[in-house]
Amino acid sequence: MHSYLKHYIDGQWVDSLGGQRHLVINPANEAPCTEITLGSRADVDAAISAARQAFESWSFSSLEERKAQLLRILEIYERRIPDIAVAISEEMGAPIALCMAAQAPAGILHLRATLDALDRFTFAEKIGDIQVVHEPVGVIAMITPWNWPINQIMAKVAPALAAGNTMVLKPSEEAPSCAAILAEIMDEAGVPAGVFNLVNGNGTDVGEALTSHPGVDMVSFTGSTRAGIAIARAAASTVKRVHQELGGKAANIVLPDADLADVLPKTIDGVLRNSGQSCIAPTRVLVHRDSVDEATAIIRDIMEAAEVADPAQEGWHIGPVVNKAQFDKIQGLIQSAIDEGAKLVVGGTGRPEGMDTGYYIRPTLFSDVTPDMRIAREEVFGPVATIMTYTDIDDAIRIANDTEYGLSATISGDPAKAAAIAPRLRAGIVTINDWRPNRIAPFGGYKQSGNGRENGIYGLADFMEVKSIIGAPA
């Protein structure tokens, strides 16, 4: 069992001030795999105090110092990829091949994108005789999820560090080890004491203490819309900036003349990859009514061919979902679709055949889904796809936009036709014939999918304040 019972505060691993031991459960076998300490408000106070003290000097570090620091982190991070991959696979159930190929290397991509952004970012400019400068915000509280854990951590840590901020990270208690390994990396890289701090904990204690704390200047949160609303309320009393990437319910508009055999496998991959635990998974497949039979047959074959297996086993298969709560939620949504009259094409409730232990979900496809059904409106976060039909492109766009979310959308078919449709979709990200994001492209959503952006120069800008200096000599 991995053991990370201490927090990383002010450049040292320290005992918790009144925290409680917590066991992380491996979702593949339902056995403990890691132990951590859920921190206390006193731990949060200590971490914020260290971050505030470190900000006094780090905020005035040179651009060259920050670049050199990021390069040292990158060098050590690359060496620790296998450790990060194993930790993620064991704690949240992603297959080890996916963790080695995508989950763990995501941190490298964010570090490189941030280094590139530093070279391209305009830190100071003149508007008439006014000098406009970008400066670090201050102490950043970072609260991150379990589904792509190191990806979302590094999407915040790298630009915040590059911008001259200091930070306190609270990773998900469901997948905390990769954050502890990152703390080891930061320590070995010589990041100054107090610049990066790690406090493990849950949302109701450590998360609430961070978001309401007057010593925190900004909260950057990735997670559910429900939790995001609670964080915004807690942060309101101190009027701190709240930067959020929340839920999604991405549509995949399949154009009427699309080559279905070509385009559907590329996007249904997003429903299956990571066991469907991606906020940008294009689960709402919108197909012209004349093409629904062909599309259903193709997606059915993909779902039936998807192998579900132990995440420790090599190969490109699906692992379990992260925990029992998620398993039960997904089972309930699958049952709701059946009860509301959707047609179950493949999959359904229960574990895959032969699996009695672990939080494994049967790859599931529904057709005859209508926009009012729960399965069409709520974020499933599992390997479940729904097929809805449309009559024309205006109808498809209306259905795609008929959601409280606005994180991402996909269009499958002729790229020129798709590009003409993209401006009409109320989503922060629109992908064409694919579902994956790009680490230099702005990442974030409209509506209840959040506010602010991550990645590249836009992510760097969101971790900075803008100051106007009026009357300075030319």
Say if strands 20-26 and 31-38 run parallel, antiparallel, or are unpaired.
antiparallel
Map tokens 């300490």 to a residue. Answer: 37
Q: Assign 160 to helix, strand or coil.
A: helix
Nearest Cα neighbor of 206 from 417, 16, 338 is 16
Give the pLDDT mean for 405-422: 98
**Any domain includes 305:** yes
Under 8 Å between Cβ of 200 and 4 = yes
CATH of the domain at 93: 3.40.605.10
Enzyme catalytic residues: 245, 279
Beta-bridged to residue 287, according to DSSP, are 254, 389
Q: How far apart are CA 225 and CA 64, in angstroms?
A: 38
The reported pLDDT for the residue numbered 398 is 98
440-450 pLDDT, tens digit per residue, is 999 999 999 99
Task: Indicate whether 162 and 311 sit together in one domain.
Answer: no
Are 256 and 375 in a shared domain? yes
Cα–Cα–Cα angle for 188, 443, 326, rounded to 5 degrees:
80
Which stretch of DSSP H or E encloses residue 20? strand 20-26
Task: Please state, in angstroms and rounded to a whole number, the distance separating the CA atoms of residues 342 and 356.
Answer: 27
* H/E run at residue 103: none
Give the H/E segment covering residue 140: strand 139-143
pLDDT computed for residue 210 by the predictor = 98
pLDDT for residue 71 is more than 80:
yes
Looking at the chain, the number of H-run helices and the number of E-run strands are 16, 23
Rounded distance, CA 409 to CA 398, Å? 13
Tokens of 304: 């039936």
Q: Is the same domain home to 279 and 196?
A: no
Give the structural domain span for 24.
Answer: 2-246+449-470
Number of domains in the chain: 2
Instruction: Indicate if 147 and 241 belong to the same structural domain.
Output: yes
Angle, vertex CA 366, rays to CA 228 and CA 322, nearest 5: 40
pLDDT of residue 474: 76
| Arithmetic mean of pLDDT, 399-424 | 98
- Per-residue pLDDT tens over the stretch 211-247: 999 999 999 999 999 999 999 999 999 999 999 999 9
Report CA 103 to chain centroid distance, whole Å.
11
Residues 195 and 294 in one domain: no
393-399 contacts: CB < 8 A, separation 24 or more?
393/253, 393/255, 393/256, 393/421, 396/253, 396/286, 396/288, 397/253, 397/421, 397/424, 397/425, 399/251, 399/284, 399/286, 399/371
Average pLDDT over residues 30-52: 98
Residue 329 shares a structural domain with residue 209: no
Tell me which residue has tokens 């107090």: 194
Determine, yes or no, domain membership for 43: yes
Q: Is residue 135 part of a domain?
A: yes
Q: Count other C-beta atoms under 10 Å from residue 120's C-beta.
A: 10
| Domain match, 148 and 296 both | no
Q: Who's near 243: CB < 8 A, 6+ residues apart?
A: 218, 219, 220, 221, 451, 452, 462
Nearest of 289, 307, 296, 308 to residue 343 by alpha carbon: 296
Same domain, 386 and 466: no
Domain presence at residue 444: no
What integer pLDDT is reported at residue 103 of this predicted model? Answer: 98
Is the pLDDT score of 127 beyond 80? Answer: yes
User: How confident is the model at residue 340, as a pLDDT?
Assistant: 98
Q: Which CATH number characterizes residue 317's domain? A: 3.40.309.10
190 and 319 together in one domain: no
Q: Is the dihedral of CA 350, 354, 355, 357 positive or negative?
A: positive
Report pLDDT digits (tens) over 279-298.
Answer: 999 999 999 999 999 999 99
The number of residues in the chain equals: 474
Residue 147 and residue 186 share a domain: yes
Determine the Cα–Cα distance for residues 171 and 139; give it in Å rounded to an integer: 16
The proportion of the chain whose per-residue pLDDT surpasses 90, expressed as a percent, equals 99
The string of pLDDT tens digits covering residues 337-377 is 999 999 999 999 999 999 999 999 999 999 999 999 999 99
Cβ contacts of residue 401 below 8 Å, gap of 6+? 424, 425, 426
Residues 6+ apart with CB under 8 A from 52: 138, 139, 166, 215
The average confidence (pLDDT) of the chain is 97
Q: Give tens-digit pLDDT for 253-284.
A: 999 999 999 999 999 999 999 999 999 999 99
Distance CA 252, CA 431 (A): 9
Strand positions, DSSP E, 97-137: 124-127, 130-136
Q: Are residues 102 and 227 in the same domain?
A: yes
Q: pLDDT tens, 160-195? A: 999 999 999 999 999 999 999 999 999 999 999 999
| 314 shares a domain with 172 | no
